[in-house]
Amino acid sequence: MRILMSPNGVKGLILCGGEGARLRPLTYYFQKSIIPIGSKQKPLLEFIVRSLRQNEITDICLLVGYKSEQVRNYFDDGSRFGAKIAYVHDRPEYKGTGGAVLNAYKQGFIDRKDLLLIYYGDILSDVNLTGMLKEHLENAAEAIVALSRGYQIPVGVAELNSGRVVRFVEKPSFDVLVGI
Query: Of 61, 57, 67, which Cα lies nearest the Cα of 33?
Result: 67
- Confidence bin at 6 (pLDDT 50/70/90): very low
Comparing 20-24, 50-54, 78-82, the range with the smallest average pLDDT is: 20-24
Q: Is the pLDDT of residue 9 over 80?
A: no
Q: How far is CA 20 from CA 40, 41, 120, in A?
A: 22, 19, 12
Q: Which of 75-79, 81-85, 137-141 has the lowest mean pLDDT?
A: 137-141
Lowest mean pLDDT among 99-103, 110-114, 130-134, 140-144: 140-144
Residue 43, preceding peptide bond in cis (omega within 30° of 0): no
Domain with residues 10-144, CATH architecture: Alpha-Beta Complex (3.90)
Please provide the average confidence, as pLDDT, over all residues in the chain.
87
**Residues comprising the chain, all counted:** 180
How many Å apart are CA 143 and CA 169, to the nearest integer?
A: 36
Q: Where in the chain is the domain with CATH 3.90.550.10?
A: 10-144
Question: CB–CB of 16/61 below 8 Å?
Answer: no
The C-alpha torsion from 111 through 15 and 129 to 135, rounded to 10°, is: -50
pLDDT of residue 3: 41
